[in-house]
Chains A and B, each alone.
Chain A
Amino acid sequence: MEVDDLELVDRARAGDAGAFGTLVVRYQRKVYAVALGIVKDPDLAWDVAQDAFVRVHQNLATFRSDSSFSTWVLRIATHISIDAVRKERRSLKDDVADVAESALFDGAEGILSTALGTNPQETALRRELTDRITDALAQLPEAHRTILVLREVEGLSYEELAERLGIPKGTVMSRLFHARKKMQALLLRYAGLTPRPGRAAAEDA
């Protein structure tokens, strides 16, 4: 039977290297996935994931068992990922989202769901778009990448996002919405589906 995370944490605190190694193996891919979503570069994501586990080890004594170990590890990984992106950005031009804000209400709604069909798991287009979605994510600004990853991969609630990102719930909702719309606009472009011009204006009138 698999040993409980908290039990492994206790053993690792007591100096059991094997227990800590088990925790690393258990969460390495999840931590890497979160880091990759935020920092974009696979090698940087690898380094960030390693740093995250080193920091986890350094802070084992402060971990309180009233929260889950996975939440704690991913929180640390997110912090390091955001720091890494901000460090890189000092020397590089900020990533530019080439989806205009005006595209948020551009009449494209419904195109993706129609194209993907009612059983999205099985369509070839869904597979194709899943392969491209990390490219799409990489084109979003850091704040949008981060909030999408925290929501979609870590599964944080609005409340947790507000706390983690230090923004009010209303901002969480609107930032997520903008991030999603930009992502969907990029997916539409990858799929060769373009919104019908003028429809939004007609509906909003």
Chain B
Amino acid sequence: MKLQPSIWLRTAYARMWVRTKSIYGEPLWVVVTIGFPLFTSLAMALLYRSTGLNSAVGFAVLGGVMISFWGNVLWSMASQFQWDKQQGLFEIYISSPAPITAILVGMSLGGIIGTAPSAALVAFAGWVFFAPPINPFWPGVIVVFGLTLAALYALGMTLASLYLVYGREAEALNEAIHEPVSLLSGVYFPSIGGFSPFPFALQVVASLIPLTIGMDALRRTLFALPGLPPAGFDAIYLHVIALSVMAGSLLVLAQKALKALEERGRRTGTIAVRQR
């Protein structure tokens, strides 16, 4: 029997298919995953409105959209291998000729496709309820959004390797990380730059998170912020460079980390976990 030389592509496509089929095969999935980002977004938007600064309501709506993806990265990327390990799937991946990075890329693409409807619904609900004023530079929005997702999911791939070692309590880890990262990366407010309430040192730390750079760039391309240049590539070229570097570096880091962990797992005998 002949094997095609395209195992990488077949694996990535198959893993993407499994993820999207699981999501779209269960129509309820979109309904259940929209709950947290939608209500948080609405609450923050109402909080902004209660301060009288209606122009900032868009920050909350944008935050709800990106929280959908951040939640997917944590719950369906970072912790996925730990859950796969408990189900016996991870050892099947390792003992097959499929490259593990192909599986990760497939998971990422599937995650993005699967989360897109929830994110779109949050944006739509925000638009309907609040009609936030926007001043979009659409080419910039598209570029930054794409790069932010690439960097965010590359971070998810790297976290997947860390969770394999430290993630026995993956659920508790996710709950511990989710809110602090949302806070630091300024999902609902500018956390870096002149408008940030954080001290400089904290802003530097926050800038290491792809979501921080992405959120800042998206705000610059969607909203007219006082004191900043008008939306255009001039305003975001540094962000584009940073996100590109982050996405590339994290992809390489994820690949190396997983390779090292596979070797470690084979040496210590921790790839397979006895199940109930």
**Do A and B bind?**
no
What is the interface of chain A, defined by CB distance below 8 A to chain B?
Answer: none
